[in-house]
Chains A and B, each alone.
Chain A
Amino acid sequence: MDIFLVEAIINGILLGGVLALLALGLNLIFGVIDVVWIAYADIVMCGMYVIYVLYTHYDVPLLFACLAGIAGMAAFGVAVHLLIIAPVLNSAPINQLLATGGLLFFLQSFATLLFGTDFRNIGVRLPVVEVASIYISFARLIAFLFGLIGAVALYLFLKRTYIGTAIRAVAQDRDIVGLMGIDQRRIYLATSAIGGALAGLAACLLVLQYDVHPFIGNTFGPVIFMICVLGGLGNMIGGFVASFIISQIIAIGGYYSNTELSYVLAFTMFIILMFVRPRGLFAR
């Protein structure tokens, strides 16, 4: 096989790891709280700016800047829930979409106000590793590994802890969890914090590879939504698998043509698949 094709496939897999992390976060929030955070990719953008500012302006070591980014976005997730989601929790879905959609424009405008539209880089250059004459970016490798670690950690949390089990219970039958002694509002806050933290982790992984700018969310936000819908909204395993399908389409498509066209290809495949399986690839 063509060595560059192999490289494209590997890059596709590596890209899938980060997309999977974001798809998990979005699906978790949708499954548990029953709202779609339209501004999810823009929360990642905020996390990238937090890391950028701490690292380049305040000389915070990168590891600590990243941890602060994760913690900051977890807190941000809680704030998003309290200030934006909770007031419209029982309104029509269109109102919820408008509320989180409004947050998207607010965050993009606010970032533009603070930082302008410049592309900013933390200036860390990670090496490229060569394995059997295939070149792999170390940053992508790290992103993939931590994406998987994040996914496994989330799985263990949901499976092994009381709060995690309660989160899954709320997703299955929210009306009676009170009878188990579960305070639904606290579960929503915990879920929002986890969703925010996953966005923060994704921000750490992306800031190593890409420049930050106020509209970076637009480049991968639509892809994440496509992944979630393809995997079945709220279906975490479906979203995880769909992440790798979509990232392969993008990577291999990019190899045969160019990146822009590969996105067109991915969305076209998505539309076709949605006609064939309107409730997602893995609908029960």
Chain B
Amino acid sequence: MLSLSAVSAGYGSFQVLFDVSLEVPRGEAVGVIGSNGAGKTTLMRVISGLIPLRAGTMTLEGLPLAGLPAHRIVEQGIAHVPEHRRLFPRLTVEENLRIGAFIPRARRRFAAQLDRVYALFPRLKERRQQPAGTLSGGEQQMCAIGRALMSDPKLLLLDEPSAGLAPLVVRQVFELIRRIRGEGLTVLIVEQNVQQVLDVVDRAYLLEVGAIRLAGTADELKGNRFIRQSYMGL
């Protein structure tokens, strides 16, 4: 569904990604793991159009994405849950969800989408009139995922959804990702929580200093000596 080939990107004169190629097949969940500063967030930003790609190609279901600004890429069916959640703190939970359905296609189906998100996250419904900034960390992550789902995407990008959450909440978040997958959504997820992410994805890539170092099925990576030693502390 999503296909990147030899993508390079960076900030100003500072190159972060070098010849990154990856595939996200329809209906699958794919993980990208890597340590701090490896370029995981930069990769997500390139896919969602927040920063331009310098070289290489990027397609969604065969259609080229390169050069489209972020607001056009959402219309193509990619929703990005950014690092640190980035809710609009002084908008209420429901207003955050409404903003998630800003594109015309999603606006027309607002009521149905809202029901779907509230069914997935009943806590958000209870707190719908509350400013998003007053939610707990776990609730904020749910709101951020809900906001992304409101655009009715084909592909969901998740940037470290478990970061900064208590272990119990982390487990809930991964449980939710499993349920979202179960609904047939394609997911690309960036994580440092290697153990748990490899339990929810089908395949994964290891990103090191801006380049793909390893790729394989989740089981292959779980069994890989290098990953076990360097990323799972086993």
Contact = CB atoms under 8 A, between A and B. Distances in A.
Interface of A: 162, 165-166, 168-169, 172-173, 175-184
A162 B102 contact: yes
B79 interface: yes
B86 A173 contact: yes
B80 to A, nearest CB: 5
A110 B128 CA distance: 51
Interface in B192-210: none
Given A162-B107, A168-B91, A180 B100 contact: yes
Contacts of B88: 168-169, 172-173
B70 A165 contact: no
Nearest to A184: B71
Contacts of B100: 180
A98 to B, nearest CB: 26
Contacts of B95: 165, 168
Contact of B98 (A162, A172, A177): A162
B8 interface: no
A181 B90 contact: no
B48 interface: yes
A155 to B, nearest CB: 14
Contacts of B214: none
Interface in B90-105: 90-91, 95, 98-100, 102-103
A214 B72 CA distance: 44
B60 to A, nearest CB: 15
Given A165-B99, A172-B88, A172-B90, A179 B82 contact: yes
Given A179-B79, A181-B151, A183-B69, A165 B74 contact: no
B50 interface: yes
B138 interface: no
A176 B106 CA distance: 18
Interface residues of B, number: 27
A178 B70 contact: yes
Contacts, number: 62
B49 interface: yes
B69 A169 contact: no
Contacts of B86: 173, 176
Contacts of A169: 88, 91, 99
Contacts of A173: 86, 88
B67 to A, nearest CB: 14
17 contacts: A162-B102, A168-B90, A168-B95, A169-B88, A175-B50, A178-B49, A178-B69, A179-B48, A179-B74, A179-B80, A180-B71, A180-B74, A180-B99, A180-B100, A180-B102, A182-B102, A184-B71
Given A169-B99, A173-B86, A182 B91 contact: no
A230 B173 CA distance: 44
B89 interface: yes
B197 to A, nearest CB: 22
Contacts of B70: 178-179
A180 B103 CA distance: 8
A192 to B, nearest CB: 19
A235 B78 CA distance: 34
Contacts of B28: none
B75 interface: yes
Contacts of A184: 71
Interface string B106-117: 110000000000
